[in-house]
Amino acid sequence: MLNYDKTLKEAVRHDILSISEVDEMLKMTRRKLVEKTHPYAINSRSNGRVITTVREEGKLKQLSAGTEDEMIDKLYLFYFENKKKRTLNDLFPEWKAERLKDKNVNIKTVNRDNQHWNKYYRDHAIIHVPISNKDVE
């Protein structure tokens, strides 16, 4: 998505596209991403509000919005933007659970991973920093 954003910015800078055209293209891209990712129906209520369901931490949660476009924006934030705020502390239990499911990984390896986590990371401040804030070089 980053290269796509760069391309659109360049197109605006060189007057190939207008800002409103870029905005419309971004909305369409977001809508397609949400439709591809979101497994639940988006429904309209009799009062005009739009509702849907998302799964968060294993539980179903209802979202509502005034319009379908607002709902698409909320779902985009839920599925894509909020993931950027995840920390190592959030991801480690999920990663460990995946390792336990993997038939190629020995339980002793998972136990050693857990020991390393407890020894080196558990009390370190870096595990609470959002992953998007870390530079990898």
With cut-offs at 50, 70 and 90, classify the pLDDT of residue 111: very high
Domain shared by 94 and 80, yes or no: no
pLDDT digits (tens, 9 = 90+) for 27-42: 888 899 899 989 999 9
**Token pair of 38, please?**
């979101």
Q: Which residues contact 98 (CB under 8 A, 6 or more apart)?
A: none
pLDDT for residue 137:
43
Residues 32 and 94 in one domain: no
Q: Which tokens in the block code for residue 96?
A: 């460990």
Q: 108 with 63, same domain?
A: no
The answer on 126 and 67 residing in a single domain is no
- pLDDT tens-digit readout, 74-110: 998 888 776 667 788 888 888 888 888 888 989 999 8
Look up the pTM and report it: 0.54
pLDDT reported for residue 2: 52
Residues 80 and 93 in one domain: no
Average pLDDT, the chain: 83
Instruction: Specify whether 31 is located in the same domain as 96.
Output: no
| 114 CA to centre of own chain | 26
C-beta separation of 63 from 71 below 8 A = yes
Do 56 and 122 share a domain, yes or no? no
The tokens for 37 are: 């990712």
Domain count, the chain: 2
User: What is the rounded distance in angstroms from the CA atom of residue 124 to the CA atom of residue 112?
Assistant: 18
Residues 74 and 103 in one domain: no
Residue 124's domain comprises: 88-133
Q: How far apart are CA 21 and CA 84, in angstroms?
A: 27
